[in-house]
Chain A
């Protein structure tokens, strides 16, 4: 059972983490050299530059800017994006759905590929299938994401043009599900590649450890059919820690999509974070960081809360 004290502690902990992220991000982005892209045009005259600085509120001392930010943030206002000229929350809202589609597809792909293959590998260690799967997963882990993306684009969109080279929809076909799926396939594969390799290896070792447990040996000794031993005794135990790892993959997919989204011109949060950073769009950098941090914290919280339910050995009263 989850005690109310445990839940309260976890929630407070989550809030503290978010506050720390906000403060650190605020000061770190302002310590970075350069400044907002709006000011980076060398042909701007001094007066024009000063007018822009005043409009963006960059003339105030840093502590004043910070207090203003905190005050507004507590009211749910994360400020106006320098690049977009619209409230940061609106910019993020227009992109977050696209990232969830991509991350969701990548996660589905990860589960469909990694869990069965990892299980198979774990149940038949050192077999030819295990060797092939292990080899491929190591290779995939070693390939840089941008390179894999470009290779797939060249192979499947340029040389053999069977899939689109980027974007989310063909122009004029926005909202068409089949068109979306065609555009989704390559970026989802690229985004999922590293997760698949990782989860596969984790599942394999978890299955292997579970297969060596005493009660599994007993079950085998009792003469239970292989299938029953695997499903009821090995997998049930092996997949509990795998659930945790899956829980930790999703925020990584949301936050780590920057490269994939840029290469595939996917209009999501990852690319937004790159644009915000390159343009020194302070409010947007903060907004995106906070959203991703919230996702990470929420999933961690969820895992913390769910874990004792699926594995009663975890104590929650300490």
Chain B
């Protein structure tokens, strides 16, 4: 009896041998929906990148390279895209992958009744049809330059033979238990609330993946994720700058930074007369010490902003544009030109003596954003603005304040596909233009930018747009963050990309 107890105790403390080797372990914060058309959150998107390849995938310059498609041609002035598909691809259930699957996927994606979240990405598609088993032709209703990039972004291809005629959203067996894709790993087991286990797909069209499997573990608490990274129960996670100290100098963990295609910003509600004058918004760019935010709060893991196009979009970003440096005196000068001067007590007032007073909202619970908002508030106070800071739960901020336009200013961020198209965010009257910014020249540039297929001409257009947004800032861009990755040093073969794009290459990953 005593011996049995001792053996049990020993096993409890030492762990039980038998956990499989060569399996990559990644964290998620909740159960994923394994269907790229309806995936609502980043975790689901990450899992789907592994299971469901798209026609193309992004290379290290974020440009599309072949994946399920072998090659493509663009004709009729950017209106017709013809893809030749690989003929050696099989679904995880053994059925052959054909052009019909691609047609089904995109017809469903653009059907507003399907529950698809990719409808707006692909609303330029007029028709999609199969030409034989391995050729697909898309006809667009207007030239749309981001089309290829978007095909390599979230648009994983779904199996027609399993899903046709079924309701996407309520198809639980597929979405939650046993999705069938064509990727290098296939789902072998789902334990709700705990893990999604994937094993190598021996029929993968690029040959055997090097890992035996991938496990996505559901670990909702970020501190616990860090603890699990340190104890070897996770191999790769993205961190907040505030977590950095806990993983630095841990022998088996490397810290890597990757470009995130995001810009963090403060929206000003331009329906509020306070912010209508471009001079006021320009002044705020001088008034906020963005370098202090980047160095202090983001520990240097961000780039200094020049407009709304992040540095990560190397091909289109204009490096020659000089950033606006912190200069409160210049801010006060511009504000004076716009009719706002400090009174005897240092408060900024207009000719009627009314103070420059507004509320800045930020979402609750993320230390980086809360601290950044506090820094913005303090900097604006220094030039005499009366700024109140309010923290709100994210869903509330978006639903009750941002979307109905019931806010003065709001610290938030945009994550975009790896393309400079920002038409839906900053063109007049667009759904996502929550700030209600309107600039005729910007509208024209943004429209031309998305319709111009020639990369050189496109670059010129976006450079002009970038310059324009420095003088008439639609929003106050604070920084372009870097994705901070803590990664097991034994993991190799990972391309130099953010985690979501890197997961398109899991067949090359290897654990020593």
Contacts and interface: CB of A to CB of B under 8 A. Distances in A.
Contact of B431 (A45, A85, A163, A169): A45
Contact of A80 (B170, B197, B399, B434): B170
A272 B231 contact: no
Contacts of B170: 80, 85
Nearest to B365: A278
A173 B16 CA distance: 9
A167 B400 contact: no
A1 B447 CA distance: 84
B227 A153 contact: yes
A150 interface: yes
A47 interface: yes
Interface string A247-264: 000000000000000111
A317 interface: no
A41 B219 contact: no
Contact of A86 (B41, B112, B176, B414): B176
Most chain A beta-carbon contacts within 10 A, residue among B8, B14, B395: B395
Interface string A135-177: 0000000000000001001100110011111111111111010
Interface string B101-132: 00000000000110101011000000000000
Contacts of B193: 94-95, 98, 267-268, 271-272
Given A45-B120, A171-B19, A265 B431 contact: no
A40 B431 contact: no
A51 B113 contact: yes
A214 interface: no
Contacts of A43: 414-415, 424, 432
B231 to A, nearest CB: 5
B191 A172 contact: no
Contacts of A52: 115
B402 A42 contact: yes
A45 B218 CA distance: 29
Contacts of A170: 15-16, 19
B209 to A, nearest CB: 17
B176 to A, nearest CB: 6
Interface string A37-57: 111111111111101100100
B15 A182 contact: yes
B321 interface: no
A51 B12 contact: no
Interface string B260-290: 0000000000000000000000000000000
A31 interface: no
A181 B394 CA distance: 37
A85 B175 contact: yes
A164 B19 CA distance: 13
Contact of B192 (A36, A49, A91): A91
Contact of A166 (B192, B215, B224): B224
A49 B398 CA distance: 12
B158 interface: no
Given A47-B112, A167-B217, A171-B197, A38 B120 contact: no
Contacts of A49: 403
B31 interface: yes
Interface residues of B, number: 67
Interface in B377-418: 392-400, 402-403, 412, 414-415
A181 B194 contact: no
Main secondary structure of the interface of B (DSSP, over half): mixed
B20 interface: yes
Contacts of A150: 223-224, 227
Nearest to B195: A171
Contacts of A172: 18-20, 23, 197
A285 B112 CA distance: 28
A42 B432 contact: yes
B242 interface: no
Contact of A176 (B16, B224, B402): B16
Contacts of A153: 224, 227
A5 interface: no
A262 B220 contact: yes
Nearest to A41: B40
Most chain A beta-carbon contacts within 10 A, residue among B13, B194, B432: B194
A279 to B, nearest CB: 8
B395 A35 contact: yes
A279 B40 CA distance: 12
A165 B395 contact: no
Interface in B12-49: 12-16, 18-20, 23, 25, 30-31, 33, 40-41
Contacts of A41: 40, 398
A303 interface: no
B115 A45 contact: no
A28 B96 CA distance: 51
A275 interface: yes
Interface string A13-51: 000000000000000000001111111111111111101
B457 interface: no
B415 to A, nearest CB: 8
A163 B191 CA distance: 21
B221 interface: yes
Contacts of B14: 162
B192 A173 contact: no
Contacts of B227: 150, 153-154, 157-158, 165-166
B228 interface: yes
Contacts of B395: 34-37, 39-40, 278-280
Contacts of B113: 51
Contact of A181 (B12, B31, B220, B399): B12
Contacts of A279: 395
B169 interface: yes
Nearest to A40: B395
A33 B400 contact: yes
Most chain A beta-carbon contacts within 10 A, residue among B19, B400, B415, B424: B19
A304 interface: no
Going nearest first, the 5 A-B pairs with the smallest beta carbon separation are A267-B193, A34-B396, A34-B395, A40-B395, A33-B396
Given A45-B120, A85-B176, A165-B233, 14 more contacts: A39-B395, A39-B398, A43-B414, A45-B431, A95-B192, A95-B193, A150-B223, A150-B227, A174-B191, A185-B12, A267-B218, A271-B193, A272-B193, A278-B395
Interface of B: 8, 11-16, 18-20, 23, 25, 30-31, 33, 40-41, 112-113, 115, 117, 119-120, 169-170, 172, 175-176, 189, 191-195, 197, 215, 217-221, 223-224, 227-228, 230-233, 392-400, 402-403, 412, 414-415, 424, 431-432, 434
Interface of A: 33-49, 51-52, 55, 80, 83-86, 91, 94-95, 98, 150, 153-154, 157-158, 161-174, 176, 178-179, 181-182, 185, 262-265, 267-268, 271-272, 274-275, 278-280
26 contacts: A33-B393, A34-B395, A35-B400, A37-B40, A39-B399, A40-B394, A45-B119, A85-B170, A85-B176, A86-B172, A86-B176, A162-B14, A164-B231, A166-B219, A167-B194, A167-B195, A170-B15, A170-B19, A171-B195, A171-B215, A172-B20, A173-B16, A173-B19, A182-B12, A265-B219, A272-B193
